[in-house]
Chain A
Amino acid sequence: MTAVAAAPLSVARRRSVLAQLARKEIHRYGTHPLFLLGVAMVIATSIGRADRVLSSLGNVIVPAAALGVMGLLVMASLVRGSDRAAAAAGVTAAGERTRTLALASAVVVPLSVSLGWLAWAVWAYHRWPTPPSSLPFGPAGDAWAYGLLIALGVLPALGGPLLGLVLGRWVRFRGAAPTAAVLLVMLTVVMQGLFEPVRTVRVFAPWTYFGGPYGTVDEPNRILLFSGSPQWYCGYLAALCVLGVVVAVLHDREAPRRRLVVTAVVVLVAALVLGTLAMTRGVPETMVNPLSTAQP
């Protein structure tokens, strides 16, 4: 037998392998029953007239839950499948890093759906505008509303699956994804903005409200606008998404990791800065609509 030195794969061919694998993961994501259920939920809640008080601003939780939280479960399942296939093959030339990047690229599937939802939400926001007594008001304008739709409707569809990717890579516990989904929902309840002690730092949570109809017995139609900037919050969430990909790729111990660790630290610092900006910029304090109303 002649040992012929194999020519190293060209960069173009290596990219081609990644592209092929990414196509497979995109297909697997797009045909996953939980994802299809999530899409059905998003479509079902987008049919008909938008909410009379909040218009499409009141729909942001739907893509966040149906594409984000469910995406967490979908991606964790895809990671498990990919790991099993790789383990069945023993060793392969394309390593864990390539597989992780291919899995990460599958988030274009929920992202595409959430962008479709965003197009509907922007259209619906203008087609059925919110009344003057509702959001946005005061220092919050249309840019605030668009920031809200992107931060709370589009980016969770990216962040949920990426959190699933990180968990799939780093946590061997089989129930990690469902547990994380429950914890995420509990964290959102605590950090929604209603609790005064955490109202300012709530923007460091991966999902939070920036306002909404929080009526009281005396003022049932009261609308609150919370402090912070949804636009900067978009930046914070985008940084968390990048951090998620880097941390997931870091799991591969075979490939060099020093540069990735540096990248992770830089992105983490950027996320903290953006989170701080989301907390301190935009609406300076909690405001109430009608503006004439006293303390929130």
Chain B
Amino acid sequence: MNAPTAVLDGVSMSYGRVQALAATQLSFDSGVVGLLGPNGAGKSTMLRLLATAMLPSSGAITIAGHLATGSMAERTAARRRLSYLPQEVGFPRRMTAFGFLDYVAVLKEWDDKTARHREVCRVLELMNLADRRSKRVTSLSGGQRRRLAIAQALMGQPDLVILDEPTTGLDPEQRASLRSILSRYAEHGTVLLATHQTEDVSALCDRVIILDDGQVCFDGTVTALIDTARGQVWMGPVANIDALSSWRTGSGEIRSVGGQPTPANRPAEPAVEDAYLLSRAARRGPARPETIQPGSAAAVKARS
């Protein structure tokens, strides 16, 4: 039986008195795993822990059979098997795109210069940056820099690719291209990505985990997540009563998530975003800041 790529065994993390991640038990096999959650939910903390960028307050982390929370040698062995894209990346000013990737490749222990240069050229090509290879990083656009940061994470064949909001700043074409690349990576390894883009999750992920307030509140397939919202999403001329969230779509109809439907509304096919909103609301309680009440000024405006 194949061993999981990564295992979190009772892992928790606290910053002083603030608990960022409650005791968590998760294991990751090959495939793309999406990590959803609001800001401050603990997504980046979980990713940093998995990337061995910091040690947990308690629990054990295993990456490709190496105990990352063990000795320095084990942690280094784990690092050889993963790559990580942090959420915010600052680049060295005087390096070119090629120079930056080449430098990072050496840090990743590519000591054979020919093989290293070949790999750098491959990822530059992969991220459509081959014509920018000799440009200084500071002269690249925001999207190009983001692609360069992703390129460093795609070097080699890591067992675990950890990406913290990789699609931020990418245009739709680049996002589609990245999805294609990541799905190919997932054939032989695990891709774990934290994102706020629910369409990325529905288009790419085999599995989705929702984190809220440092706790895992959903862990399952995308289909299972969407099923939790079935029968709670409606379309019609007016918003549902007490809808969790409602908005006017491009067709002019109001899409309502949760709440009591009016007779004029009909059930709609739920999406990941609807399920995510409902999952959040189930934890949050009764507050519904985004509801458009029927008959309210906002609803009238939406109808008009």
Contacts and interface: CB of A to CB of B under 8 A. Distances in A.
Contacts of B107: 21, 85-86, 89, 92-94, 98-99
Contacts, number: 124
B95 interface: yes
Contact of B90 (A13, A21, A88, A90): A88
Contacts of A254: 72, 75
Given A85-B100, A94-B106, A20 B113 contact: yes
A217 interface: no
A20 B76 contact: no
Given A1-B188, A20-B111, A81-B93, A91 B103 contact: no
B65 interface: yes
B141 interface: no
Q: What bracket does the count of chain B residues touching chain A fall in?
A: 35 or more
Contacts of A5: 64-66, 77
A91 B160 CA distance: 13
Contacts of A32: 94
Interface residues of A, number: 37
B109 interface: yes
B80 A93 contact: yes
Nearest to A255: B72
B111 A13 contact: yes
Contact of A93 (B4, B109, B153, B188): B109
B294 to A, nearest CB: 48
B51 interface: yes
A20 B153 CA distance: 20
With most chain A CB atoms within 10 A of its CB, the pick from B4, B82, B93, B94 is B94
Nearest to B152: A89
A80 B65 CA distance: 34
Contacts of A21: 106-107
Contacts of A4: 64-65
A89 to B, nearest CB: 5
A6 B153 CA distance: 19
Contacts of A98: 107
With most chain B CB atoms within 10 A of its CB, the pick from A32, A85, A93 is A85
Contact of B86 (A77, A87, A255): A87
A152 to B, nearest CB: 31
A256 B109 contact: no
A93 B95 contact: no
B65 to A, nearest CB: 4
Interface in B91-121: 91-95, 100, 102-104, 106-109, 111, 113
Contacts of A94: 106-109
A88 B76 contact: no
Interface string B150-177: 0011000001001000000000000000
A17 B105 CA distance: 10
B149 interface: yes
Nearest to A99: B107
A89 B73 contact: no
Nearest to A27: B99
B43 interface: no
A86 B162 CA distance: 16
Nearest to B188: A1
B264 interface: no
- What are the 3 closest A-B residue pairs judged by CB atoms, nearest first? A90-B84, A81-B92, A92-B107
Interface of B: 2-5, 29-30, 51-53, 64-66, 72-73, 75-77, 79-86, 89-95, 100, 102-104, 106-109, 111, 113, 149, 152-153, 159, 162, 188-190
